[in-house]
Amino acid sequence: MVNISEGEERVEMKKKIVTFVGCQEVGKSSIISQIVYKVFPQTFHSELKDVCTYHRDDTLFEFRYTAPTEKNMSKHKMGESHLIIYVYAWDDPRSYRWIQKYLHLHPKGIPSLLVCNKIDLMGELGEIFLCNNHFGQERIYTSAKESKNISLLFDKIQSMETNDLAIQNKSCCVIL
């Protein structure tokens, strides 16, 4: 942090691009909404576009989300992410198998997390879907609806080491 002049402080901001990859309706937008707005949207969150930014401490998080397809998983699309979060829904085994199918396209060197969302449905539906973790990375169980483990997930997102891209993408912010 460098003082420029009285009343003006220049702060080096890091930028972290976090891409959520998951099938339709697994809860990607709801998780992002819980992180950024602390609400579970009852209807479509119009403020939540394809890209959503969130400033916390010295980091500007850019949350993106996309469906797992060959095109979306291409190096061109994913290569600039600092962190990739794979999301599936507890009540939808297909959503797990779908991300598993494209895992081989995961760009090398980019850290990732596996998120199993909608765990609030466990009580209602019982253990209908217990899957192994083929991904090898850490798995976090969340409920965007009940805000369970959302702060744990964000703590992970915040603390995970990212590669050198983070340095190249550094941006600046002037606080007056």
Ligand X SMILES: Nc1nc2c(ncn2[C@@H]2O[C@H](COP(=O)(O)OP(=O)(O)OP(=O)(O)O)[C@@H](O)[C@H]2O)c(=O)[nH]1
Contact residues toward ligand X (CB under 6 A) are 22, 24-30, 117-118, 120-121, 143-145
CB of 98 to ligand X, least distance (A): 12
DSSP classification of residue 12: E
Q: How many residues bind Mg ion (CB under 5 A)?
A: 1
State yes or no: residue 29 binds Mg ion (CB under 5 A). yes
Question: Tokens 């941006």 identify what position?
Answer: 171
For ligand X, which residue has the nearest CB?
A: 27
d(CA 22, CA 1) in angstroms, rounded, equals: 38
Regarding 117 and contact with Mg ion (CB under 5 A), the answer is no
Per CB under 5 A, which of residues 54..83 are in contact with Mg ion? Answer: none
3-state secondary structure of 75: helix
Stretch that binds Mg ion, among 10-18, 28-36, 50-58, 91-99 (CB under 5 A): 28-36
Sign of CA dihedral 88, 31, 18, 139: negative
Return the sign of the alpha-carbon dihedral for residues 103, 109, 114, 115. Answer: negative
Residue 162 interacts with, from ligand X, Mg ion, none (CB under 5-8 Å by kind) = none
Which amino acid, one-letter code, is at 73? M
Question: Least distance in Å: CB of 48 to Mg ion?
Answer: 7
